[in-house]
């Protein structure tokens, strides 16, 4: 799917987001931004931003930097807590033959 431009825009992204949202909702529970995670099979879509006094978490929100080199302008998930610790999550669902190439690309980002 990822090799086809048309499918990569829709089906591949939907599969990627469905897999990542399970981890994302668990992360939100861990940092106290939501009470409980919805079941993995529910079609619930995460909001772009969750905020509290302790942390800010972003789902597929572009990064804008003025003076820092940014290799990836759209990271799948960013979590920043008030102690200045940042967690970045990048998700990929490549074909087995493309796994090494995709790993290198995501690590470079």
Task: Report domain extents, the chain.
Answer: 5-108
Beta strand segments in the chain, E:
49-51, 55-62, 74-81, 86-89
Cβ neighbours of residue 50 closer than 8 Å, sequence gap 6 or more: 28, 33, 34, 56, 57, 58, 59
Do the beta carbons of residue 16 and residue 93 sit within 8 Å?
Answer: yes
| pTM for this prediction | 0.72
Q: Which of 60, 64, 93 lies closest to 74, judged by CA?
A: 60
Residuewise pLDDT in 10s, the chain (109 residues):
556 667 666 777 788 888 889 999 998 998 889 999 999 888 898 999 999 888 889 888 877 766 666 555 567 788 878 777 888 887 777 777 877 887 787 777 6
Question: What's the number of CA atoms in the CB half-sphere (13 Å) around residue 7?
Answer: 6
Do the beta carbons of residue 24 and residue 38 sit within 8 Å?
Answer: no
């Amino acid at each position: 799917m990822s090799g086809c431009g048309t499918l990569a825009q829709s089906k591949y992204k939907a599969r990627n987001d469905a897999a990542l949202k399970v981890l994302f909702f668990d992360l939100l529970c861990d940092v106290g931004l939501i009470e409980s995670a919805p079941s993995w099979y529910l079609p619930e879509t995460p909001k772009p931003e969750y905020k509290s006094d302790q942390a800010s978490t972003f789902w597929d929100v572009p990064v804008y930097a003025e003076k820092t080199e940014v290799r990836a302008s759209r990271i799948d998930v960013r979590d920043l807590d008030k102690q200045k610790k940042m967690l970045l999550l990048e998700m990929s669902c490549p074909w087995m033959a493309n796994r090494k190439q995709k790993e290198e690309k995501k690590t470079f980002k």
